[in-house]
Chain A
Amino acid sequence: MSERKIGVYVCQCGGNISDYVDVERVRQAVAEDPDVVVARTAMFTCSDATQDEIADDIKLDDLDGLVVASCSPKLHTFTFRGVARRAGLNPYRYTQVNLREQDSWAHTDDRLGATEKAIRLVRAGIARTRLLEPLDPTVVETVPRALVIGAGIAGLRAAIGLADIGLGVVLIEREAEVGGHVRELGTMYPHDRQGQELISELLGEVRRREGIALFTNAELVRKGGTFGNYEVDIRTRGDSNMTRRFEVGSIIVATGFDSYLPEEGEYGYGIPGVLTLPEFKKLVDASEGPLVYGDRPVRSVAYIYCVGSRQGESGPHQYCSRFCCTSAVHTDLELRAKAPKVHQYHLYRDMRTYGRYELLYNDSREKGSAYLKFAPDTPPEVQRRGDGQLEVRVHDQLASQEEVNLDVDLVVLVTGMVPRSNQELIQRLKLPVGRDGFFNEIHPKLRPVETVVDGVAICGACQFPKTAGESVASGLAAVSWSAAMLKQGRAELDPQVATVDPDLCTFCGVCMEACPYGAIGQQELGGSRQVAVIDPATCKGCGGCAPLCPEHAINVLGYTGREVEAMIESLAAGVA
């Protein structure tokens, strides 16, 4: 058995753990391990005093491994890595054992069971720590400039924020004009500002800042270099097709969404007078008095909600598009202000005017618009009669359970948001795409704009359906994320990545195919033998390649086969 000097700290968490787990019994049980030289309990392991005590132990006993058994690793992994580092112990020779969220709190009804589980969990932590090798994070220098892709409201606002904290910005927009969907909008909720106006104000702010280079008709055609110093080639179309190269430290993707386009015949789409929400919104924005469509006055409108959203098993768009309930209600109010006599009927599945938008919904009802709830399995039917009048038939679930016939001049299909088609960009940046087709952040709450691709963030409605305000908020989050990384001039990459054992590798190529990030290359070993090699700066450490290697040559550091098996042994063993 290897001789290691491991320190183990079992936390009481001020009773959160010790009320349900006999921490002293846990301490005694693990102290018997010959590799454990210090085993203590503490009231609050994360307190400054205990952190100092751990650091002292590390120095005094020359510890080469650290196990902290306290709360979830999501909370204090960085705290205790820091303690190790300060005391001269390699921070990757530390294991966090989850005794609170996954033990004491989950088994408040079973003190003996929770205590025995704690012993097993801590022993598994020790078993892993025994095998951990010291690792050094890859430190990279970062260029103080960011590339922002997409000049919708999210990208424009992000570019301004980046410039204001002193970072250089390259802002590219694929279209001839900036502004994305908001440029097309008149009056917007919640502040009744004009979309076009908002965009021209933002464009003015962008132009005023020397640090921002804006290119329209422009696309990213190549990304090279490595994290911290990506080389990006931007091609602009137009009079002069030109490619320019920039070095950037971070890339912020703000490429937005597309509006759902109904199929021919879906709720009568294709019949004159059946419009999508964006089409109808344009019509209302442009109208100055009573609404006219074609050359006929519009006296009545029926809205059909959730078109292209919440499709259940029957379609690819199973999510709620979030903005559309409020947008339809807001457009109802906008129209009512211009043409008070119009009858407006809203055929909805569930009203989702969340937060303060509820007030708009109340306002619309109080002013006389009718709301009828239909069930997804009996959707409304739209027909055009001989005289050109549109007829909508719907089962009103609430009022009567009866079929209601509405004669209307316009039908508005309240269409949702769908992912924008952007295959080339996805390929070029290796963007993680979710099953719904929108881009995936690492974690919606804890790391809401970062992606697993180092140095690449996402914001705005390319993540999931968002309002303009929500899009801007995430744009600013991407600014802070860039600042944290680029203002220091250096960044660290997690060294817990995959490695290939060259002695085992036969270079069959399986792993190269398995890695979507292109992290695996080829290397010539002595005697012209070829083996696979993994670039630690590109590898994400997902481990997807490892179980596919027929030679078991690949391991993720910190999660190696030996480490996991040692943990399994400890978890399975008796606790006596």
Chain B
Amino acid sequence: MATTMAPPAPTAGTTFGPKILVFSTNNISDPGIDLAGSSHLHYSPRAMTIAVPCSSGIAPEWIAYAFDQGFDGVFIASDGEECSYLTDCSERSAKLFERAQAMMAEKGYAPERLKMAAICSVCAEPFVKYMHEFEAQLRELGPVGVA
């Protein structure tokens, strides 16, 4: 049976598997993402994580660079209210987010390709839910660079 089936057309929305770069934080959101794995909750293996100390240290340039390199989406798993370094971490991260979106606009990347949500150290299920939603949304948008 399988041999007679035509391979699915390589159009956006069917076989396109979006590549997602996740930025996590060492003390807060990365443990939450670890917990998703420990609980064997599945998400796309094309979602890959870089952990940094704090979401207020994520340079907008890195985000723009990820799109230049072919990532279809970037997800910032931020510290939110739990940050142990900076009381105003949420505000700082929000400002960096805006700067990154401005930079993306200049380069012609759709603003929806960047997402940010606070992920706590036990937020395994919310993280996986975000991954599924984001992946679906990026499928709709199609591969980066294909306007």
Contacts and interface: CB of A to CB of B under 8 A. Distances in A.
Interface of A: 72-74, 98, 100-110, 113-114, 116-117, 120-121, 124, 432-436, 440-446, 451-452, 496, 516, 540-544, 546-547, 552, 556, 559, 561, 564-565, 567-569, 571-573
B34 A74 contact: yes
B56 interface: yes
Contacts of A103: 37, 45
B136 interface: no
A542 B86 contact: yes
Contacts of B21: 568, 571-572
B87 A117 contact: no
A108 B42 contact: yes
A516 B86 contact: yes
Interface of B: 19, 21, 26-27, 30-31, 33-38, 40-46, 48-54, 56-62, 65-66, 69-71, 81-87, 89, 92, 96, 99, 121
A72 B51 CA distance: 11
B45 A434 contact: no
Contact of B42 (A107, A120, A543, A556): A107
Contacts of A543: 52-54, 56-58
A572 B19 contact: yes
Contacts of B40: 105-106, 108
A496 B57 CA distance: 13
Nearest to A559: B52
A101 B62 contact: no
Contacts of A433: 87
B45 A117 contact: yes
Nearest to B88: A516
Contacts of B48: 117, 120-121, 124, 571
19 contacts: A72-B30, A101-B33, A110-B45, A120-B48, A432-B84, A442-B27, A446-B31, A452-B84, A496-B53, A516-B86, A516-B87, A542-B86, A543-B53, A544-B54, A544-B57, A569-B69, A572-B70, A572-B71, A573-B69
A451 B27 CA distance: 12
Nearest to B69: A572
A353 B58 CA distance: 42
Contacts of A436: 81
A547 B53 contact: no
Contacts of A573: 69
Contacts of B19: 572
Contact of A561 (B36, B51, B59, B92): B59
A128 to B, nearest CB: 9
Contacts of A547: 56-61, 96, 99
Given A74-B31, A117-B45, A442 B38 contact: no
A434 B34 contact: no
A77 B61 CA distance: 28
Contact of B50 (A105, A542, A552, A571): A571
Contacts of A544: 54, 56-57, 85-86, 89, 92
Report the 9 A-B pairs with minimum CB-CB distance, sorted nearest first: A543-B57, A113-B45, A572-B69, A542-B85, A101-B34, A106-B37, A101-B37, A435-B81, A105-B37
A102 B46 contact: no
